């Protein structure tokens, strides 16, 4: 008699933040956890990011295009998948904010209450001149994987990400959605520093996984506040 397959019927519901679409997912399995652990132990950021995207795609029952998932989609979905896989809480070290104390306490974080938030809503249409504007999209995790290189400057990475996030360039006569690498590079190079900064503001204000935490210092009893933002703060 063949051995049974475990966990075939376990399903949870979740909404993909960027599309507002309801999907179902399962916990990750031992085979997937092995890949994640190996990726994290490698200390290579791109390897770890790729492993998280692959895990999300594998664990969501409906078809997901990993290349189109935004950074905050992956953060949110992975956190909830991880919560159902190995436990709904994680423990971080919190340092008391009282100068005379500075004691370190264990702070238990409820992963299921983490939310995708945006500090400030910024229009995705950037007016470059009275007649020319750009329409942008939030960066995908794949764009980070493609363009991130160890040692590259913030400016180099920023230009690469902007190129990836442009949906259209709009003039009074047309909405341009196709261009060559050479054309888009020349277009960005022709911006003033102020115009480039306005585009950068949109990317900097992308939604992210966040949670506000209050905890009591076990040494002095002071109530501390902690703001978590992005996966690296949670794990």
Nearest to 28 by CA among 9, 53, 55: 55
User: 138 is written with which tokens?
Assistant: 């939030």
Per-10-residue mean pLDDT, the chain, length 235 = 68 94 94 91 85 94 88 94 93 94 94 90 92 93 76 74 91 95 93 91 90 94 93 81
pLDDT of residue 151: 66
* Residue 57 to residue 159: CA distance in whole angstroms: 28
* Residue 114 to residue 105: CA distance in whole angstroms: 21
Residue 175 contacts residue 168 (beta carbons within 8 Å): yes
pLDDT of residue 189: 92
* Residue 25 to residue 57: CA distance in whole angstroms: 9
pLDDT of residue 91: 94
Strands of the sheet containing 125-127, edge to edge, are 125-127, 133-136, 166-170, 175-176
* Number of separate helices (H) and strands (E) present in the chain: 8, 11
User: 67 is written with which tokens?
Assistant: 């290349």
pLDDT of residue 6: 65
CA angle 114, 120, 125 (to 5 degrees): 120
């Amino acid at each position: 008699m063949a051995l049974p397959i475990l966990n075939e019927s376990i399903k949870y519901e979740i909404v993909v933040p960027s599309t507002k679409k309801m999907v179902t997912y399962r916990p990750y399995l031992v085979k997937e956890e092995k890949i994640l652990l190996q990726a994290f132990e490698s200390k290579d950021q791109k390897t770890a990011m790729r492993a998280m995207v692959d895990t999300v795609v594998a664990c969501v029952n409906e078809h997901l295009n990993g290349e189109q998932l935004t950074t905050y989609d992956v953060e949110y979905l992975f956190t909830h998948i991880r919560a159902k896989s190995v436990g709904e809480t994680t423990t971080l070290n919190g340092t008391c904010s009282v100068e005379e104390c500075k004691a370190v306490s264990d702070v238990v974080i409820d992963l299921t209450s983490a939310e995708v938030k945006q500090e400030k809503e910024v229009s995705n249409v950037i007016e470059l001149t009275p007649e020319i504007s750009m329409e942008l999209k939030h960066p995908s995790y794949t764009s980070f994987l493609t363009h991130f290189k160890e040692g590259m400057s913030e400016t180099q990475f920023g230009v690469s990400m902007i190129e990836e996030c442009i949906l259209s360039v709009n003039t009074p006569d047309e909405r341009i959605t196709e261009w060559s690498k050479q054309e888009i590079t020349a277009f960005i190079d022709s911006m003033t520093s102020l115009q480039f900064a306005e585009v950068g503001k949109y990317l900097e204000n992308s939604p992210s996984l966040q949670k506000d935490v209050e905890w009591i210092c076990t040494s002095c009893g002071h109530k501390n506040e902690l703001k978590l933002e992005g996966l690296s703060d949670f794990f």
